[in-house]
Amino acid sequence: MKLKYILTISLLAAGLTAVRAQEVKLNIPGQTPSAAPAAPAVVYPDAQLVEEFGWFMGKRVGLTELAFTKTEVEAFLKGIATAASGKDSPYELEKIGPAMDEFMQKKQAAYLGKMKSQSLAASNAFFTKLKENKSIVELPSGLRYEIVKPGEGAFPKATETVKVHYTGTLIDGTVFDSSVQRGEPAEFPLDGVIPGWTEGIQKINKGGKLKLYIPPQLAYGDDGKGGIPPSSTLIFEVELLDIKATPAAAAMPVAPGAK
């Protein structure tokens, strides 16, 4: 389970900027405006600092994703207090360990199941809306594609290697991978990437651009990769720069989006 957390002091800077933006400036004719007084440094009580540290640790270990009940949260805090006091574990780790692993696995499975259901519901709604776009072609596999700019010449085969520029996004617009942002094209043997790519890139020829709308079963299925949640529909905008023969001993690359 990938647990994400964000902690940044830029929030404090943003708040300070907002306060400064509201300061009233007096411009008296013939008088040089004096420099605005520096804002006093914010002093936080120790209790607030510890509270923030607790929030940070809670986000880091993924308490929200684990969906603890009120009673479970109280038990968790009791364990924290025991550790903070320097006392030994309240139970024998060797004995309780397997049961604790099973409990946490169930929590993780419930979280992933919830994410899967949400992703599938969002994907179904997305593809239903996508039917309104008549320029999008739907293939029997479930893959959808749209030609953005036709290319010229031959189309790539599944046994060949393609050189591409691409940007991959989730259906909410979140970019999870982009050779464009890295400023360097990528090369992939077409039979070594996700099925949606293998099938989709063969629909454009050299110099062309297309968009791929890849359902979960042609992407990473129930698994997540990098910033890709389980059961996600992926959207790729791809420019095919070149087509090459795949060397016989070429190492299999990481598929687009996998980090």
Q: Catalytic residues, which ones?
A: 166, 176-177, 194, 220, 236
Q: What does the alpha-carbon distance between residue 60 and residue 3 come to, in Å, rounded to a whole number?
A: 7
Q: What does the alpha-carbon distance between residue 61 and residue 84 come to, in Å, rounded to a whole number?
A: 17
Q: Which two tokens stand for residue 156?
A: 């790539």
Q: What does the alpha-carbon distance between residue 135 and residue 139 come to, in Å, rounded to a whole number?
A: 13
DSSP at 211: E
CA 254 and chain centroid, separation: 17
Q: How many helices (H) and strands (E) does the chain have?
A: 7, 7
Could you tell me which residues come within 8 angstroms of residue 188 by beta carbon, excluding any fewer than 6 positions away?
161, 162, 164, 197, 253, 255, 256
Could you tell me which residues come within 8 angstroms of residue 181 by beta carbon, excluding any fewer than 6 positions away?
167, 175
Q: What does the alpha-carbon distance between residue 85 and residue 156 come to, in Å, rounded to a whole number?
A: 65
DSSP at 99: H
